[in-house]
């Protein structure tokens, strides 16, 4: 029996701004097993990022259940949520979110600063993560000295440096051209295939969703369809340093 990493049940999220209420998620049920690679698609405003924020323990649901790796997230306080986030979850965003005055290596070290990891161990783990994304030779470059695809790979290295079981990526190829997008998806596929990291990827591009193993589509805060990918695209092993 595969183990579910994520089990959400009747999940609702309502935003209130003054008089206005927005039902961003309306009773979503979703189970994701360990080592799955799920893509979430849907029009702008359909609730994809809201769902990712809840999955990533960045935001709490208004109602409904969320179980992450056996923890009932709804009952946890802010500190406990932050601990789970730090230990189990890596995040990748459209805009890379690297600190511009820090080198690639220093950016990758950031998630370990809170855990009092000795600096030599931090450096070693960060170099290992950069090696995983094919950028060991760029460790002393600043983000401005790297291409968009390389910056996103540094962001992926930062996301995996604490060995998370779950990687959440919200439109990670949204700022990248087609060839570079494939390169980044190759890194994500390898993390899934070789390390068994569970991946949840938001994208609005069908081409990109076909790198996943399963695709969920959303509309108006609900899940509309949920099916396996038939002709899965494989990005190939070639991690280059263009
Ligand atoms: P998507 O990522 O699919 O584009 P979102 O999850 O960002 O969609 O948004 C879903 C709905 O919730 C939209 O109508 C959006 O305007 C609203 N929404 C998202 N975040 C907030 C927020 N922090 N405050 C108020 N409304 C929000
Ligand atoms: Mg979004």
Residue 237 lies in a domain: no
Q: What is the CATH number of the domain that holds 196?
A: 3.40.50.300
Please report which ligand is nearest the Cα atom of 48.
1
Those residues whose C-beta lies under 8 Å from the C-beta of residue 193, and which sit 6 or more positions away, are none
Is 70 domain-assigned? no
Domain membership flag for residue 64: no
Average pLDDT, the chain: 93
Residue by residue, DSSP assigns 113-130 as: GGGT--HHHHHHHHHHHH
Nearest CA to ligand 1 atom 18: 24
Strand partners, 69: none
The per-residue pLDDT for 119 is 93
Does residue 91 lie within any of the structural domains?
yes
Q: Which ligand is nearest to the CA of 43?
A: 1
Q: Tell me whether residue 67 is in a domain.
A: no
Cβ of 86 below 6 Å from ligand 1: no
Number of domains in the chain: 1
Element (H, E) at 21: strand 20-33
**Ligand 2 centre and the CA of 122: distance in Å?**
32
Ligand 1 center–CA 24 separation, angstroms: 6
Report the atom number in ligand 1 closest to the C-alpha of 52: 6
Tell me whether residue 120 is in a domain: yes
pTM of the prediction?
0.94
Tell me the pLDDT tens digit for each residue of 184-231.
Answer: 999 999 999 999 999 999 999 999 999 999 999 999 999 999 999 998
Residue 233 maps to a domain: no
218 class by beta-carbon count within 10 Å (0-12 exposed, 13-18 middle, 19+ buried): buried
In 3-state terms, what secondary structure has residue 200? strand
Work out the pLDDT band at 240, boundaries 50, 70, 90. Answer: very low
Q: For residue 118, is it within any domain?
A: yes
Range of the domain at 184: 34-59+79-228
């Amino acid at each position: 029996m595969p183990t579910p990493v994520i089990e959400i049940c009747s999940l609702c999220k309502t935003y209130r701004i003054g008089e206005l209420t927005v039902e961003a998620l309306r009773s979503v049920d979703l189970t994701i097993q360990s080592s799955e690679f799920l893509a979430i698609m849907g029009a702008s405003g359909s609730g994809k990022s809201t769902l990712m924020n809840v999955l990533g323990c960045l935001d709490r649901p208004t109602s409904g259940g969320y179980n992450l790796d056996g923890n009932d997230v709804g009952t946890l306080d802010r500190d406990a949520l932050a601990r789970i986030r730090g230990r189990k979850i890596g995040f990748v965003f459209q805009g890379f979110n690297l600190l511009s005055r820090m080198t690639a290596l220093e950016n990758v070290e950031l998630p370990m600063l809170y855990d009092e990891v000795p600096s030599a161990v931090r450096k070693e783990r960060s170099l290992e993560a950069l090696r995983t994304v094919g950028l060991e030779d760029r460790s002393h470059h600043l983000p401005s000295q790297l291409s968009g695809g390389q910056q996103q790979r540094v962001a992926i290295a930062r996301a995996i440096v604490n060995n998370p079981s779950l990687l959440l990526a919200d439109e990670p190829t949204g700022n990248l051209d087609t060839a570079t997008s494939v390169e980044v998806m190759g890194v994500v596929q390898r993390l899934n295939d070789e390390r068994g990291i569970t991946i949840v990827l938001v994208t609005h591009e069908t081409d990109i969703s076909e790198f996943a193993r399963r695709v969920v589509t959303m509309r108006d805060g609900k899940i509309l369809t949920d099916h396996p990918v038939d002709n899965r695209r494989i990005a190939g092993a070639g991690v280059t340093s263009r």
